[in-house]
């Protein structure tokens, strides 16, 4: 399972840890991926996304719900719903079976 956010596309970043003596040791900063249950078209779907993306989605949809008509909200959230729905459509088992077929 990759450590990238399917919504934002952010992935791990690498760099150096510096000790007191300024010795450089390579390290990696991972994205804060969490599992969230999101309601998409009346269906609860579990998605792994970064905490930052989840907070941004909640913030923007809440602001838009107060300020704009429902049609505008749907237009803004539509690309996110597509990405999440696409991920929810293909279960892990099917991916494994497809990978095995391609390997043969």
Indicate whether 65 pLDDT > 70: no
Tell me: the pLDDT tens digits for 78-97?
667 676 667 666 555 566 66
- Please name the residues in contact with 90: beta carbons below 8 A apart, sequence gap of 6 or more: none
- Residue 78 sits in a domain whose CATH number is 2.30.170
In this prediction, residues 31-50 reach a mean pLDDT of 88
In this prediction, residues 18-31 reach a mean pLDDT of 97
Domain around 27: 13-90
| Alpha carbon distances (Å) from 38 to 4, 5, 85, 93 | 18, 15, 10, 21
Please report whether residue 2 resides in a domain: no
């Amino acid at each position: 399972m990759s450590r990238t956010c399917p919504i934002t596309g952010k992935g791990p970043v690498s760099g150096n840890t510096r000790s007191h003596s300024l010795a450089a040791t390579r390290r990696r900063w991972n994205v804060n991926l969490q599992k969230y249950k999101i309601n998409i078209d009346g269906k609860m779907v579990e998605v792994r996304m970064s905490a930052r993306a989840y907070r941004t989605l909640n913030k923007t949809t809440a602001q838009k719900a107060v300020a704009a008509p429902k049609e505008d909200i749907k237009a803004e959230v539509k690309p996110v719903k597509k990405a999440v729905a696409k991920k929810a459509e293909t279960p892990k088992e099917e991916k494994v079976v497809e990978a095995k077929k391609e390997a043969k």
